[in-house]
Amino acid sequence: MERTDRLTPASARDLLYEECEALRGVQSRLCTLYAGNGFREVMTPSIEYSGVFSADAAVSQRMVRLMDGGGRLCCLRPDCTLPIARLCGTRLKNAPLPIRLYYSQQVYSVAREHSGKEAEFSQVGVELIGERGMTADVEILSLASQSLRALGNGYRLEICHIGFFRSLMGALSAEETVKEQARALIEQKSYAQLSDLLSPFLEQPAARALCALPRLFGAKDVLARARALQPEKEGIKALDYLEELLEKLREAGLHENVAIDLGLINDADYYTGVIFRGYMEGSGEAVLSGGRYDRLLGRFGRDLPATGFGVNASLVSRGLTGGGEQQGEGLTLALTKGRLEKKTAQLLSALGYDCSALEEKGRRLVLPLGESGIRVILAKAADVITYVENGVADIGIVGKDTIMENGGSFYEVLDLGFGRCRFALAAKSREAVFGGYRAQRIASKYPHVALDYFESLGLDVNIVKIEGSVELAPLIGLCDGIVDIVETGSTLRENGLSVIEEIAPVSARMIVNTASMKLRQQPVERLISQMEGYLQEQAERPEK
């Protein structure tokens, strides 16, 4: 018997008893709702030719690939909308319009190793095909809202119109690489980095508007703030559309849990109009996602407007069975133990928070921040990211080095300015790493950062993961160079090494869980603004 014979692959698992009941309950509530609203069920196969998804880079990137008997490249369905678009261009090509479809099926996507994410989840959703315009958008948003309401207490639906973002991008005169980076930074609500990236372009109104985009979320007043940024014609049209849509939702009694987020950019690039995401208490990430995709069906031979959404039923049911995080009213702030801890405590004290529990913590790992309602948890750097990503902590303070190495899905909102150091390639000499034709060996605590750097240079290297005191590795002949963080440079100097190339600056960052940003917007925004205000004040203070 092989070692793995009794196991499920990493990121796949069995569901038992109440887990099945919870999932079936979610699926059946949604299916009943959709059937009751005139939608008819379809099932597409789990296995599709990978070409069905190839037009969408983000979707095809997460495909689990396999080969059919004839050696053709197939995949396990990574998305439900594209197979339905295929269906409309083939089996449903003569169906009368509009077509209202719903589905309840498994979706598969490659999960990041050790992320705790599952590679298979249940998605239940609807597609409304053949109807353009406001009425169809209101119908789908109303159904999205009813879906979340049917599943539990406390939800929020964020809406956006992709036309606003696209018009700003279209008006921005900058290289494509800058635009791609800006897109990613807006998606991550990475305020600080976005300003740095776009600072050379700030004489352009589009660049100024893009810098403001990650913060343009909240109630209806967001639209007025967006108009003040003087968008071009397409952008104004998008804002007008959203304004009218909000009014229609208000008339339908759905406005209370609906907000605007103009920085919402869906990673699937087939969306053309209104896009939206839904959040529920108990889940650290969006449980519902959808939007209008008027040009997708044309690729499959039936050029029709369409809109729809999918609910991640697995995520919802995990929240219901207690697999998701359960939080009270207050905020949870995850701090990196060690180097950044003291500086963060100083910053919090300067903002007026009572940090006495942090100063006399002993071996305790969960500490109250006075009477503020904020609790602090202390964790290792990479774990801060894990806690925030999974929503058990709302906010985290962590070094950019850890973010670059681990990645993850969260908002990176502030550069706190302390914990400054830099990523560098270091060696005994430049020749040691760049001389000769042999593929060099590079040791690092940050193998992803190291690999990424050498890939950007187009160089093959062998990376060796080392846990600490990396400077030792080239001294005793394990490697030719190291990629590590350098602060004062004394560790390198005292060991006969020097910086060969600087790779990237590093400092402490404030990160926020995506769902917390929506569901606990006020306290989260308050803390961000306090920190931002303080940092600004410090930066403007004349040097003594």
The reply to whether 173 sits near ligand PRP by the rule CB under 6 A is: no
State in angstroms the smallest separation of the CB of 395 from ligand PRP. Answer: 23
- Residue 469 or 529: the one with the smaller Cβ distance to ligand PRP is 469
Asked if residue 98 lies in contact with residue 129, where contact means CB atoms within 8 angstroms, the answer is yes
Question: Cα(503)–Cα(500) distance, rounded to whole angstroms?
Answer: 10
Contacts with ligand PRP by CB under 6 A: the residue count is 12
State in angstroms the smallest separation of the CB of 467 from ligand PRP. Answer: 7
State in angstroms the smallest separation of the CB of 493 from ligand PRP. Answer: 8
State in angstroms the smallest separation of the CB of 445 from ligand PRP. Answer: 6
Question: Cα(381)–Cα(401) distance, rounded to whole angstroms?
Answer: 9
- Residue 334 or 340: the one with the smaller Cβ distance to ligand PRP is 340
> 3-state class of 393 per DSSP?
coil
Question: Cα(492)–Cα(499) distance, rounded to whole angstroms?
Answer: 8
- Residue 491 or 521: the one with the smaller Cβ distance to ligand PRP is 491
- Cα angle 126, 64, 514 (rounded to 5 degrees) comes to 60
Tokens 């040009």 map to which residue?
295
Nearest position to ligand PRP, beta carbon: 468
Please count the other Cβ atoms lying within 10 Å of the Cβ belonging to residue 10.
12
- Residue 310 or 399: the one with the smaller Cβ distance to ligand PRP is 399
- Residue 182 or 485: the one with the smaller Cβ distance to ligand PRP is 485
Q: Which of the ranges 18-26, 70-78, 202-210, 463-471 carries the binding residues for ligand PRP, by CB under 6 A? A: 463-471
CA dihedral 453, 459, 460, 464 (to 10 degrees): -30
Asked if residue 80 lies in contact with residue 105, where contact means CB atoms within 8 angstroms, the answer is yes
Sheet strand arrangement including 274-280: 40-41, 99-108, 120-129, 306-312, 288-292, 274-280, 155-161, 258-261, 217-218
Footprint of ligand PRP on 465-524 (CB under 6 A): 468-471, 484-491
- Residue 36 or 468: the one with the smaller Cβ distance to ligand PRP is 468
- Residue 171 or 378: the one with the smaller Cβ distance to ligand PRP is 378
Residue 248, judged by CB atoms within 10 A of its CB (0-12, 13-18, 19+), counts as middle
State in angstroms the smallest separation of the CB of 446 from ligand PRP. Answer: 9
State in angstroms the smallest separation of the CB of 461 from ligand PRP. Answer: 19
Which residues of this chain interact with ligand PRP, rule CB under 6 A? 468-471, 484-491
